[in-house]
Structure 1
């Protein structure tokens, strides 16, 4: 009965995703087994659930809104949403926050599919390794965001409460252990097949988990996170370096930075290590990442919401291509640049785009904004996954989880934490020169944190990075106060506490 229940959910999830499911599964050798279709379907569902990261409601927002990169101003009645977005930026969220609840549900749904795939007797070694990679990935995110993980073993009956309940200090070791055991069984892959869990992806995820391990180990007995400074052991940093080297094999930096996020990124980018695949006929809501920021009168018409913080914009040199750039097939179509948008905005003919509420006045984005009462032009906007104008509501941009530049910076950080700043400097300057920025003469850990922001802004890494470097609780634009250490992890949603007595609310909530 258990398999039928979970499998039905997988079938419903993938009814409109047949071609992608076939593409994912065609990369796996199928055994002659009565159960193999069940394993295929459950594994496909675990992959497809990754699309929950790419919209403006779930876990991506928990990594960006509380950071020094993003905010969500209220504009009259627009974007008030009962204070949900303000609470994320102000670090005043509560266990009933809608974004926290939806993130919990989406992450645990993916974890359930990954576990279910492993319960079928006909599963191949490659399928098993991919399912374990996804289990490790979902476990890592749950650990990072919520500080504890509750899960069933593969094949365990759903009528019972989950038997495995891991504290923050235990969950990170578990996620590492299961992935290391299956790493050799992951398939080889290329940047063009980065939507399939592969050895490069496994190595990159292990590097990221070892890099953050010190943060999760710094937890009080009652589950309260410690603020650091954290103890990054030489052994863990050696693991980061080794796994990063393996993850970077057969990947090169993309010449045009924004091609890593465009409609053809899955075909042209040489940087991609692990992604969630989208096509013009099926996919998630990746277009919402641009729609949520763009103004109503821009094309595509946006919802005039999320903005970039001044601290982010000011980190860039003028010639750094990552800050803003014209993109053929995008800028010439409707005047939009990719990256951070500041100042007067024009259409494809150079004519002014006008404000909605003030006739005959040009739209000009400003660096300042108010969380509680912004007018429509306030705040810089961001277009990272620029739109495919042939299919603006179903774009084919693949969502990027892991890519080469991230791994390079992880290795540089590990080297620097071991005291080898000379080797780290070479890596960082290689990246900076590729992006049109000047080379550093020397390097500090603070430089590396800033470089991660320049390279990875609005990609879902910033909260995690700031916590690791000890800057997350500091005051930023729109938040004048230093916040308490308990907000380093989010609360367990109230409905989930009521459903599972093995869960314990995180301290401070």
Structure 2
């Protein structure tokens, strides 16, 4: 059974109230101003479990009154759901996806690469990630040894609190990782900082990198072993995954080569018990918490059509995948018309599946009949291919519990990415791995996908890896980061459809490798400076 975060929304309010004075980057107020974290709340020892669920809830929910509500004043529910905005900023900004409804706030500017510091999606991501940091800090303040002693908490609960504290620090590190990657800087706040009369200092990428790394290394022993925690809760493998990610991108973040360290943590994950799902598409189905993907997904953003109703990434993707011509929603476990062709594929992604080797590749879910790959008019929903990667059906063909809000968890991290990171780090010269193992990992993914073309060591080039990452990981919130690491996001050496607001793509300036710090955040925190070029 999935971790039912929605039933803990009262805790979401409590945590929101406690973070008001420490985020200082938006006007944040709880919907219920009578809800406070009193000592009475902690008379029930289960309060700590409830409170850590509130930290997790911020990754799934935006408010306590259903999917349209937002507990952060100034953030709209549709433009601040954590996973959805992360998907937009990492995928919609690159060469894989087009969103048809450009009147939706912020989407036009992101997918045409013409964003400014006023973009609501940027405001939403910066604010929601900062809220996540604040939730984690609040939990850590309320679970110190001193407070546990004052409340006479039992040894049994204390042992659990050790794990909860490690998970809170991991979730805080995850949020800082996203802020570092997307914005290059963030206000640095920990549980040790004052709650009032305090303006957080700005941390640049080097400081954020060091903080994230040290936090994850420090908590490793207190986290559950891989695959030994409740579904939806983080464990050692999730910490190793974030470390592998920051090491793979270290040349971008801090100008240092850390491919050897990336290989080290890929090896730890690969030997930790995770296995590839038997079917590629199991990773994107309504029962991906219990089918064979349970062993592949390292950390999900939980979705449940009853308990966590929200406009998060999988609800958006599955409803949005339904084609305007095909009305194929019933195939995907949602209403037949879905959202009427909201999402389509840019031709650059479609081209990666050209050739007979991809005819039966299970990663190729493109629908091409009666369609042209070229999109000359974003508003014309009949242009461009659509695909059916995500589904609100189970591996047994059952429809999810709701036909709008889906049961499909978003696979934020999964083992296939580990194999591809390992291969890339080896090709880039990292130590501790081998070309033979890298080739085996890539061929395991191709084998799983029923692709008849195995590769050898001569074929394992950086260009191949970048393309294979797109084939394996498209629409999973990685592409912008990948293109930046490969030097293909900014400039004009690689242009894609509608890059730079031109139908065939044009060069975009180098400073677009990071997003601008949103104006509301800078207005409320004078320590924050704008990224150069904006």
TM-score by length of 1: 0.79
CA–CA separation in structure 2 for the residues paired with 1:475 and 1:310: 12
CA–CA separation in structure 2 for the residues paired with 1:368 and 1:471: 21
Aligned length: 435
CA–CA separation in structure 2 for the residues paired with 1:382 and 1:106: 29
Of the three residues 89, 109, 112, the one matched with 2:131 is 109
The answer to whether the aligner puts 1:370 opposite 2:376 as a matched pair is yes
In the alignment, is the contact (CA less than 8 A) between 1:322 and 1:435 conserved in 2? yes
The residue aligned with 1:225 is none
Shift in CA distance, 46/371, structure 1 to aligned 2, threshold 3 Å: farther
TM-score by length of 2: 0.75
Of the three residues 356, 364, 367, the one matched with 1:341 is 367
CA–CA separation in structure 1 for the residues paired with 2:182 and 2:189: 19
In the alignment, is the contact (CA less than 8 A) between 2:303 and 2:406 conserved in 1? yes
What does residue range 248-327 of structure 1 map to in structure 2 within 5 Å?
Answer: 248=270, 249-268=272-291, 269=293, 270-283=295-308, 284-285=310-311, 286-295=314-323, 297-299=327-329, 300=335, 301-303=337-339, 304-316=341-353, 317-324=357-364
Question: Could you list the per-position Cα deviations for residues 312-336 of structure 1 after superposition, in whole angstroms to 9, with x for gaps in the alignment?
Answer: 1221242353434xxxxxxxxxxxx
The answer to whether the aligner puts 1:418 opposite 2:406 as a matched pair is no
The residue aligned with 2:234 is 197
The residue aligned with 1:65 is 92
The SS at the match of 2:298 is: strand
* CA-CA distance at 1:5 after TM superposition: 6.1
Of the three residues 443, 447, 454, the one matched with 1:439 is 454
The SS at the match of 2:234 is: coil
What does residue range 109-508 of structure 1 map to in structure 2 within 5 Å?
Answer: 109-120=131-142, 121=144, 122=148, 124-154=161-191, 156-190=193-227, 193-218=230-255, 232=257, 236-248=258-270, 249-268=272-291, 269=293, 270-283=295-308, 284-285=310-311, 286-295=314-323, 297-299=327-329, 300=335, 301-303=337-339, 304-316=341-353, 317-324=357-364, 339-343=365-369, 364-372=370-378, 374-388=379-393, 389-390=399-400, 391-418=402-429, 420-437=434-451, 438-441=453-456, 442-473=459-490, 474-479=494-499, 480-508=505-533
* CA-CA distance at 1:80 after TM superposition: 3.2
* CA-CA distance at 1:4 after TM superposition: 9.6
The SS at the match of 1:273 is: strand
Shift in CA distance, 14/252, structure 1 to aligned 2, threshold 3 Å: farther
The SS at the match of 2:203 is: strand
* CA-CA distance at 1:6 after TM superposition: 3.4
* CA-CA distance at 1:478 after TM superposition: 2.1
In the alignment, is the contact (CA less than 8 A) between 2:200 and 2:525 conserved in 1? no
CA–CA separation in structure 1 for the residues paired with 2:389 and 2:171: 25
Shift in CA distance, 194/416, structure 1 to aligned 2, threshold 3 Å: farther
In the alignment, is the contact (CA less than 8 A) between 1:56 and 1:288 conserved in 2? no
The residue aligned with 1:352 is none
CA–CA separation in structure 1 for the residues paired with 2:231 and 2:510: 36
Deviating beyond 6 angstroms after TM superposition, the runs of 4 or more aligned structure 1 residues are 12-15, 53-56
CA–CA separation in structure 2 for the residues paired with 1:238 and 1:13: 45
In the alignment, is the contact (CA less than 8 A) between 2:226 and 2:237 conserved in 1? yes
Consecutive unaligned residues of structure 2, counting only runs of 5 or more, are 1-11, 20-28, 33-41, 62-79, 149-157, 330-334, 394-398, 500-504
The residue aligned with 1:336 is none
* CA-CA distance at 1:130 after TM superposition: 0.6
Shift in CA distance, 164/501, structure 1 to aligned 2, threshold 3 Å: closer
Moved more, 171-180 or 193-202: 193-202
Shift in CA distance, 183/57, structure 1 to aligned 2, threshold 3 Å: closer
CA–CA separation in structure 2 for the residues paired with 1:365 and 1:161: 56
* CA-CA distance at 1:370 after TM superposition: 2.7
In the alignment, is the contact (CA less than 8 A) between 1:42 and 1:114 conserved in 2? no
Moved more, 289-298 or 443-452: 289-298
Moved more, 93-102 or 435-444: 435-444
Consecutive unaligned residues of structure 1, counting only runs of 5 or more, are 16-32, 219-230, 325-338, 344-363
Question: Could you list the per-position Cα deviations for residues 47-82 of structure 1 after superposition, in whole angstroms to 9, with x for gaps in the alignment?
Answer: 111226878851210000111111224xxxx43347
